[in-house]
Structure 1
């Protein structure tokens, strides 16, 4: 029986996959944007089964994203191995809308992926999507796209002139700085929006893969090659190695931005990001995910998809001797440990003890109400990725608000303009209530909506909260105790807006949906909320 890789191999928000093999071990690093700690690294021994093993950017000296706008932060890391070290290069983007990006590039290293990573070394700020290539003569080369602010390129409607080619410059590890001339080695194809460069060398050729076409439905992996590292680079006979841009029927859409890897016996594969849109509006509620394609080298010295075309497959052949191990459909979290379970992240701040604690009250996650939900600085929101088009999430919260400025509960969250939340709060006439806060998109105004008005009065004590997402539909529930029947609250909400295409649409944002717990206290009192557990269940 032929082993099969099932795409996406990393479901949910896991974009811009950089793959690295060391011996029999494979690692994939993906972007985390404003979510903390920064960069997800998954590990596999067979290319079929993957496990999250590290988020290396975990302290203030490495990463502080307080104030970073939505969809900024850590873009497109590149993971490599050389000289007995793992090397990780990444961008911290400080601005999104308008003509500027303010993209700062860094390098960190570690002797092992699971080890503590070094403090960062600053490299440059000329553009984003950096990568580091280790040549066989011992020299190291740094690449990134160059951002040209002198264009009509604004967030939400990118234009090609801002994407001003791929820069190459030598990296001197002894002095830990760039040296020699900066060369623009690749302007991209006619598709435009060239970014995400990765270099590798084979049979005397330097092969360059880039991402083009933006992060939406025209996305592509473009390939070129040269006999010298600084070009000139000739385009692949098909221009694009991987793309779904002309095939709206394909299961994997938005295919682009990935990296080449070989197995120990020389089989060729290529990662790429992808999206799985839901009808009728073609919104990718799981964000940009990671997929893997089997490739072949032909006599012309070019790499091609094994399927003979450019459209990625949902299932591809895996190396022999492997089998798929299904992930559990239900994940229960009781918060009994002193560390946050690995599937959870929070937003922007390296000072985690300001927003949550697992030791303040045994068996509980305590969130300290800080700034409003959607704040770019300090909001108490702990969440996990949505990994299925249909799922149910449940939690139990103990919270004693004294003003409507204090709210805690359960949320389906994308960013400050795209979320739905069921919260426990206070109302002057009703007392303690559960109510819904909804922000269904950033256009035209991004204001909150309150689908159940002042909410429903609830008794003292712990309150059980739940939500069910079935494709584009979201329904909230609550009950007072585990013995009570779940009660639906509010109308069915548009879960599809909590997506890349929600709000202002394609290219307006590009992270993914999270399900989690939140608390805010805009009175400044930092009122805590205690969560007893969190349950995530895939629904058929």
Structure 2
């Protein structure tokens, strides 16, 4: 979670949280113990693009670590404090401890410097020093609609810290979710960090979400936004317009060298021996057991592993959904031997929320295609459509997403007309908001390729390409 990058003593420093257990309590509500495991680590590099050192363990007292490098040469680790005890505030405040940048060793007393405001859920701390003041920037309100950036300051690093007199520095709470034209606005804004340009301007980067125009679901997950800030004559930070609300568009301080992200991407596995950077896979840093670009040249081979809902070994390679309207397609060569083997095209949020168009085998041994969905909002947690028999050979699979609707299609080989399945599926369930109680809710939606073999034989599927095309919002 929440990596923090800083520069001191001629090196880059990155601290981050490795979450081992989250989203579970002994009983519902604050009356039960909430036992969770967060381990914080530190790595360094001479260059921002690495190579990075091996991780050094720091602590496990909470999450969202950050480093503050004071002008007296000392450096400090700050993080939120987690209180697991029954009846206590889970988010117990911000703690600080000195760190030796030569070894990563923590020393001295761990101090609680800020307990937070009435918004609660105090996390994501960053400290900045300006004109003799220590400014503490934190996230509060949780990652949903009440998310906010809150600032407090003190003449002493250890406090006490006085909260900004205007309230949150930035929040979307109480703002309209769409413009008059129906365009989604930035919501769920919080967890900010500051950067100063060479020209002396101050900008804040922060997390946000864009809900669907006709609902509250953020299928694109948590995104990153930027906004210009101004230090006032009273020494407090404010948005440039003074409104403390997010702006959907901002004017950058100068020309950029960045070209617009293309509206379509075609990954042809015949022209590469490494997986394109746009793709990700689940959990393991050792993907050789999940996929290969070498076994069958010209194809991405996925080895059938555990179920599409597994929390462990899944053969799933996917890229993020980055637009409300898009199409994706792939060509797969897969011959299942029995019903426990499947492969296909999946729209995936997590193990409890997905729509999966897959090829498998019926009891008669013939190939068939059908949709498996996990739908947390319905009484029945899953949907399995009636199978459609298909002939042998490579099959092209396609998905079309239009805001909150989703449809699948297929065709034999990679040419000819698409055959659309009749099912119109709810794409809004692939969102942070459509979450079962107690489950994490901030990953965002992916679309990609998957393969299962529940018999344990590792029966593979070969994918020739993957195409992703975005469309303008209508």
Q: Sort the TM-score into its range (normalised by shorter chain).
A: over 0.9
Distance 1:384 1:180 in 2: 44
Instruction: Give 1:490 deviation, angstroms.
Output: 3.8
Aligned equivalents of 1:146 and 1:262: distance in 2? Answer: 28
Specify the alignment match of 1:296 in structure 2.
230
Q: Which has the higher contact order (CA 8 A, sep 6+)?
A: 1
Indicate the residue corresponding to 2:94 in structure 1: 166
Structure 2 residue 27 is matched with structure 1 residue 93: no
- Report whether the alignment pairs 1:223 with 2:151: yes
* Equivalence for 1:204: 132
- Partner secondary structure for residue 114 of structure 1: coil
Deviations 1:110-139 (A, max 9, x none): 122222221110000010111111112211
CA distance in 1, matches of 2:322, 2:98: 40
Q: Give the corresponding residue for 1:84.
A: 10
Please give the alpha-carbon distance, in whole angstroms, between the structure 1 residues aligned to 2:377 and 2:440: 9
Would you say the 8 A contact 1:412–1:420 is kept in 2?
Answer: yes
The one of 193, 204, 207 equivalent to 1:270 is 204
Q: Distance in 2 between matches of 1:338 and 1:422?
A: 27
Which runs of 5 or more structure 2 residues have no equivalent in the other structure?
A: 26-33, 179-184
Quote the residue 2:434 is aligned against. 502
In the alignment, what sits opposite 1:239? 167
Q: Is 1:483 the equivalent of 2:419?
A: no
**TM-score, normalised on structure 1?**
0.82
Q: 1:121 aligns with which of 49, 56, 68?
A: 56
Q: Which residue of 2 aligns with 1:464?
A: 396
1:334 aligns with 2:262: no
1:490–1:116: structure 2 CA closer, same or farther, 3 Å change rule?
Answer: farther
Aligned equivalents of 1:213, 1:132: Cα separation in 2:
23
- The CA deviation at 1:141 is 0.3
In 2: Cα distance, 1:483 partner to 1:325 partner: 32
Aligned 8 A contact 1:207 1:225 in 2: yes
Superimposed CA distance per residue, residues 453-512 of structure 1 (whole angstroms, 9 cap, x where no aligned partner): 2x1111111100000000000000000023321011141100000000013379751110
Find 2:294's aligned residue among 335, 350, 359. Answer: 359
Whole-Å separation in 1 of the counterparts to 2:465 and 2:95 = 48
Q: 8 Å contact 1:240–1:310 — kept in the other structure?
A: yes
- Aligned alpha-carbon RMSD (Å): 1.6
CA displacement, residues 2-28 of structure 1 (integer Å, 9 cap, x when unaligned): xxxxxxxxxxxxxxxxxxxxxxxxxxx
1:533 paired with 2:465, answer: yes
1:315-326 equivalences under 5 Å are 315-322=249-256, 325-326=259-260
2:68 partner SS: strand
Distance 1:364 1:533, change over 3 A: same
**CA drift at 1:249:** 3.7
CA distance in structure 2 between the aligned counterparts of 1:524 and 1:504, rounded to whole angstroms: 30
TM-score (ref. length: structure 2): 0.93
Distance in 2 separating the partners of 1:444 and 1:459: 35
SS in 2 for 1:496: helix
Q: Secondary structure at the match of 2:428?
A: helix
Aligned partner of residue 240 in structure 1, secondary structure: coil
- Residues 520-529 or 321-330, more deviating: 321-330
Q: Using the alignment, how far apart are the partners of 2:338 and 2:349 within structure 1? A: 26
Map residues 126-165 of structure 1 onto 2, 5 A cutoff: 126-151=61-86, 161-165=89-93
Does the 8 Å contact 1:189/1:239 carry over to 2? Answer: no
Contact 2:230 / 2:240 at 8 angstroms: preserved in 1?
Answer: yes
1:511 to 443, 456, 470: 443
Distance of aligned partners of 1:376 and 1:442 in 2 relative to their CA distance in 1, 3 Å threshold? farther
Deviation at 1:444, TM superposition (A): 5.3
**The structure with more radius of gyration:** 2
| Counterpart secondary structure, 1:353 | helix
1:373 aligned partner: 308
The alignment status of 1:473 with 2:405, answered yes or no, reads yes
Q: How does 1:174-193 map to 2 (within 5 A)?
A: 174-193=102-121
Q: Is the 8 A contact 1:212 1:222 kept in 2?
A: yes
Q: Distance in 1 between matches of 2:256 and 2:317?
A: 35
Residues 253 and 276, structure 1, Cα contact 8 Å, conserved in 2: yes
Other-structure match for 2:46: 111
| Off by >3 Å, runs of 4+ in structure 1 | 321-325, 442-445, 505-508
For each residue in 1:362-402, what CA deviation from the matched residue of structure 2 results, as whole angstroms up to 9, or x when unmatched? 12111011111121111000010100011000000011101
Distance verdict in 2 for CA 1:506–1:283, change over 3 Å: farther
Task: Give the equivalent residue in structure 1 for 2:31.
Answer: none
Alpha-carbon distance in structure 2 between the residues aligned to 1:322 and 1:173: 34
Structure 2 Cα separation of the partners of residues 255 and 246 of structure 1: 12
Q: In the alignment, is the contact (CA less than 8 A) between 1:371 and 1:521 conserved in 2?
A: yes
Cα distance in 2, alignment partners of residues 216 and 162 from structure 1: 17
Partner of 1:287: 221
**How many angstroms apart in 1 are the aligned matches of 2:440 and 2:281?**
22
Is the 1:272–1:290 contact (alpha carbons within 8 Å) kept by the matching residues of 2?
Answer: yes
Shift of 1:89: 0.6
Paired with 1:289 and 1:173, the residues of 2 have a C-alpha distance of: 31
CA distance in 1, matches of 2:233, 2:92: 33
The corresponding residue for 2:182 is none
Return the match for 1:410 from 327, 345, 369. 345
